[in-house]
Amino acid sequence: MKGALSLSGALPVALGIALAVGIAIGAGAAVTLKNAQFALLERNHAQAAARDQAAQLARVRAAQARGDALTTDLLAARAGAATLHEQLHDALRKTTTGRACLGGPALRLLDTAAGLRADLPSAPGGAAAADAGPVATDTEVARWAADAYFEYAECARRLDALIQFNETETPP
């Protein structure tokens, strides 16, 4: 009986050891499995981040290429317009007479409206024709109008280029 007793006493100890070993093996397996899952998640996340960065870089390069092309077109248009502008000024010089077009009172009025506040003498009480102050010739007025058209066209070209750049932009 003594042998049976020692076996019955050893059985709970053996079961306890087996349980402890089983728990340790199970815990180790669980940790290994979780570490593998975390590694897989980290790898997937890194791959997704790399794809996103590559896509973003491609969008930036495409936008840069679009911007460069539009800038080149804008500079070419501006050079062409500048040539036409010079030709227009030459033609205006040949087709205008240089006669007085706007007198001092009209110039003062325009300067005041533009906020320039030029140092022109005050208008006399008599007729505008009696004012011998500064005058703008028909050539100067025509050149001013040509310059205003040129600046307006340049502004329109720039705005069109910006609009075109934004309309052709690829969505994120």
The pLDDT tens digits for 132-144 are 578 889 999 999 9
CA distance readout (Å), 50 to 45, 47, 54, 56, 64:
9, 5, 6, 10, 21
> Which pLDDT tens digit goes with each residue over 80-120?
999 999 999 999 999 999 899 888 888 888 877 766 655 55
Give the model's pLDDT for residue 1: 47
Q: Where are the domains of the chain?
A: 10-122+130-167
pTM higher than 0.85, yes or no? no
Q: What is the pLDDT of residue 156?
A: 95
CA distance 3 to 139: 131
